[in-house]
Amino acid sequence: MKTPSQLLRDRLTPAFGTVAGVPVDPIVQRSQHADYQANGTLALARRLGADPRELADRILAEADLSGVVSAAEVSGPGFINLTLADEVIGALAGAALADDRIGVPRAARPDTVVVDYSAPNVAKEMHVGHLRSTVIGDAAVRVLEWAGHRVIKRNHLGDWGTPFGMLIEHLLDIGEGEAAHELSVGDLNGFYTAARRKFDADDGFKERARQRVVLLQGGDEATLRLWHLLVGESKRYFVSVYELLGVRLTDADFVGESAYNDELQPVVEELDKLGLIQISDGAKCVFPEGFTGRDGTPLPLIVQKSDGGFGYAATDLAAIRNRLRDLDATRLLYVVGVPQRQHFEMVFATARAAGWLTSQARAEHVGFGSVLGADGKVLRSRAGGTFKLVDLLGEAVDRANTVVSEKNPDLAAAIRTEIAEQVGMGAVKYADLSTDRVRDYVFDFDRMLALDGNTAPYLQYAHARIKSVFRRGDVAPVRDGSPVLITETAERALALELLSFPDVLADVVETLEFHRLAHYLFGVATTFTGFYEKCPILKAETPALRESRLALTDLTARVLETGLDLLGIAAPARM
Ligand code: ARG
């Protein structure tokens, strides 16, 4: 089925083509001045050196809009304002109801998308940056999968490198049993800090750590066993956080830095053969075009250090080559904080220069800002250290419990516990996803758990209230495709809003700006409130109207539930 904007575009495109002499996109968008607006006239007028209003008049005279609009007029500098016919809105809403994808098409040409996200570091606590990456990456996976793309998850775990020398020596010092215990209860920072302290204070320990790195890189079996122990315990802990969060990451999605070890040397050789390697201070470097430091000198991407070791950049080069060449990815996403933007741009530029990244694929750094505390500084725990993520999530659930108990004191304890988890996790995720991701945001429990405003609890509560209409009326939704009746402006506004869902999703698939979906859902919930206040549903004047309003109510619930699910947020049926 078509969305209103597609319907209008299909009718306007031939007229734009006739007037312009070449195919032109009419650019049909939602508008405050009419239902939709075609803005394509402005760019076209510039191109033709014509008067935009006159051009718009000619296009309107040419266009066949019969049976689709009830009004079409030129406005402002030359926009075309379009008002859909009520019957068209009613028919499309009826069709969306009968569709189990509520009008959202599957991608005609599916991408193979590799999503690199979460990526915490072994034996180190996940920080709020990892939380953001996990939550945003999960939304990306859900939206892209639902849109019909093939999604490959890559949790690029930091499980390799020089710190493992000191970590393994510390493990030997305290004993395997104790180490496993500390790591499995999530005391990752304690373990890491203790190792670090010894490394800094004790030269003997430092030397042992250095030798241990050599053994690890040389593939020494006893060392590898200890390394596996560290990695295994950390993974177990991270998976427990993922389960708590309800994200789709599992143990199978870890493809850590160590997975690329065997590809590092071949990558250097390949880059060398292509003439892309230069020696700088003894290190093998690539100088991708267009990257210079503040003083104007070209910036290096270090591929192999002077001591022969490989670092973060080399691993990312091996990873991108693997994803493009072996996984046949057509879209690569890296959900990593804004400070790493330049690193990824340099990796992409190198992959392009090497011929791995061609016009067949695109690579995107899906960057995000920092999480700030109430003081406007990067979020810290009360003790001043970094946050333990599980504590933060636990507190969200505790506070959600209070909110839910106050709102609905009659809920049975077991149900309340479950709902509190859904509300607490939802609040944390929504606070993150509803802000423009490249910006910093303030982590504020009171605001994210408020029952009014643009929050998860507000949307969850709106959804539960809509579901309660069906419970109270003891009716089941009818989804037979019959048109929805448009008798009131509030019905019309709601139907129109619901019919935009496919356009909003298409936009989010492209931009990965999840706040656009969040704001849309918020708009749906408030538009429903307007409808609910104006239009009796169960007590509608006629049975046909009651049926029709129940249909709109059902469609609202499904759009909210689907939209929230795509953000990784549950929509409980009662609250
Ligand atoms: N482990 C890194 C960190 O904590 C993030 C890795 C991101 N992914 C990547 N392919 N480099 O900063």
Dump pLDDT digits (tens) for 238-296.
999 999 999 999 999 999 999 999 999 999 999 999 999 999 999 999 999 999 999 99
Ligand 1 interacting residues, C-beta cut-off 6 A: 116, 119, 121, 156, 158, 316, 319, 334, 336
Two tokens at 515?
């706040």
Pick from 124, 315, 334, 336 the residue to mutate for probing ligand 1's pocket: most ligand atoms within 8 Å of its CB: 336
Q: Which of 185-199, 374-388, 485-499, 547-561 has the lowest mean pLDDT?
A: 374-388
pLDDT at 387: 67
Nearest atom in ligand 1 to the alpha carbon of residue 340 is 12
Q: List every span in the chain annotated with CATH 1.10.730.10.
A: 456-567
β-pairing, 331-334 vs 112-116, is: parallel
Q: Tell me, what's the ipTM?
A: 0.99
CA dihedral 439, 444, 445, 447 (to 10 degrees): -90
Which residues have C-beta within 8 Å of that of residue 427, sequence separation ≥ 6? Answer: 396, 400, 445, 448, 449, 455, 456, 457
Is the predicted pLDDT of residue 87 greater than 70, yes or no? Answer: yes
CA distances from 151 to 28, 136, 303, 320 (A): 30, 15, 29, 16
Say how many C-beta atoms besides its own lie within 10 A of residue 526's C-beta. 14
Among the listed residues 350, 284, 339, the one whose alpha carbon sits nearest the alpha carbon of residue 316: 350
Taking only Cα atoms into account, the Rg of the chain, rounded to an integer number of angstroms, comes to: 28
Which residues have C-beta within 8 Å of that of residue 298, sequence separation ≥ 6? Answer: 287, 291, 292
The 3-state DSSP class for residue 173 equals helix
Q: List every span in the chain annotated with CATH 3.30.1360.70.
A: 4-84
Distance 336 CA to ligand 1 centre (A): 7
Pick from 114, 116, 156 the residue to mutate for probing ligand 1's pocket: most ligand atoms within 8 Å of its CB: 156
Q: CATH classification of 456-567 is 1.20.1540.10, yes or no? A: no
pLDDT at 391: 85
Q: What are phi and psi of 187, to 5 degrees?
A: -90, 60
Render pLDDT for 48-79 as a digit per residue (tens, 0 to 9). Answer: 999 999 999 999 999 999 999 999 999 999 99
Distance (Å, whole) CA 279 – CA 277: 7
For the segment 132-142, the average pLDDT, to the nearest whole number, is: 98
Nearest atom in ligand 1 to the alpha carbon of residue 343 is 11
The dihedral through the CA atoms of 392, 246, 147, 259 has a sign that is positive
Among the listed residues 542, 572, 540, 541, the one whose alpha carbon sits nearest the alpha carbon of residue 553: 540
Write the residue with the smallest CA distance to atom 11 of ligand 1: 316
Nearest atom in ligand 1 to the alpha carbon of residue 158 is 1
pLDDT at 389: 81
Two tokens at 8?
């209008």
Among the listed residues 254, 248, 252, the one whose alpha carbon sits nearest the alpha carbon of residue 140: 248
Distance 316 CA to ligand 1 centre (A): 9
CA distances from 134 to 96, 186, 247 (A): 32, 18, 8
Write the residue with the smallest CA distance to atom 9 of ligand 1: 156
Distance (Å, whole) CA 195 – CA 185: 17
Is the predicted pLDDT of residue 560 greater than 90, yes or no? Answer: yes
Distance (Å, whole) CA 482 – CA 171: 68
pLDDT at 382: 58
Count Cβ neighbours within 10 Å for each residue of 195-217 and write b for 16 or more, e otherwise. beebbeeeeebbebbeebbebbb
* pTM: predicted TM-score of the whole model, two decimal places: 0.95
Distance (Å, whole) CA 338 – CA 429: 19
pLDDT at 381: 61
Q: Which fold has domain 4-84?
A: Gyrase A; domain 2 (3.30.1360)
Distance (Å, whole) CA 537 – CA 116: 46
Task: Return the residue matching tokens 């506004």.
Answer: 493
Distance 306 CA to ligand 1 centre (A): 23
Two tokens at 115?
């999503």
- Which one-letter DSSP state was computed for residue 438? T
Count of residues making up the chain:
575
